[in-house]
Copies of this chain bind each other. A is one copy, B any other.
Amino acid sequence: MTTAEDAKETGRVEAFSDGVFAIAITLLVLELKVPHLDDGGGGRLAAALLREWPSYLAFVSSFASILIMWVNHHRMFTFIRRSDARFLYANGLLLFVVTLVPFPTAVLAEYFERPGSSVAAAAYAGTFVLASIAYNVLWLAAIGRGGKLLRPGVSSEQLEALTRRYRWGLPMYVLATMAAFVSVYLTIAICIGLWIFWVVAAWNA
């Protein structure tokens, strides 16, 4: 296959993946519910909207997480020249976790300040444990088989730098999942702290 056909082929994997990322990130808004008041009144509607803050927090947090996953995916694909079936299905596994995110987000928003919140937060952070595992599987599928999927000219230093930056993801998410049984706020703080770290690290790179 020529280089142009290679580019077109991985281009379509990216297009499908972009579609899934874009839809999952946009579907999050469907979990924000319009409060139904029999008799609104300015103050009461404002109060009802503010009372939904766990939904907003879950929305912002999940939006940030999917955006970071997309940025990483985009970064990884700048190293990829072509795909094979193994890579396509590993990519599919990652997309599976991405499409799943709105569900634990909705569970967390509903149970944030109620009994059951630790189960909801563990399910939420646990989804990102799955996402980290899926990323590692995809990365192994990308760099395996003697590197034949990689763009020529990618140095092992570049590959290691990418590996290094994200190696904290899996242990931190496992920690966040266990922290749910101590405090829901601790789980959220670990997740958001990790995302701020990654954004700042990328910003200054």
Contact = CB atoms under 8 A, between A and B. Distances in A.
Count the copies.
4
Contacts of A44: 115-116
A159 interface: no
A15 B123 CA distance: 31
Interface in A40-58: 40-42, 44-46, 49
Interface residues of A, number: 72
A158 interface: no
Interface in A96-124: 96, 99-100, 102-103, 106-107, 110-111, 114-120, 123
Given A19-B26, A40-B116, A41-B116, 11 more contacts: A9-B78, A16-B74, A25-B95, A26-B99, A27-B30, A32-B103, A40-B111, A40-B114, A45-B120, A67-B92, A71-B92
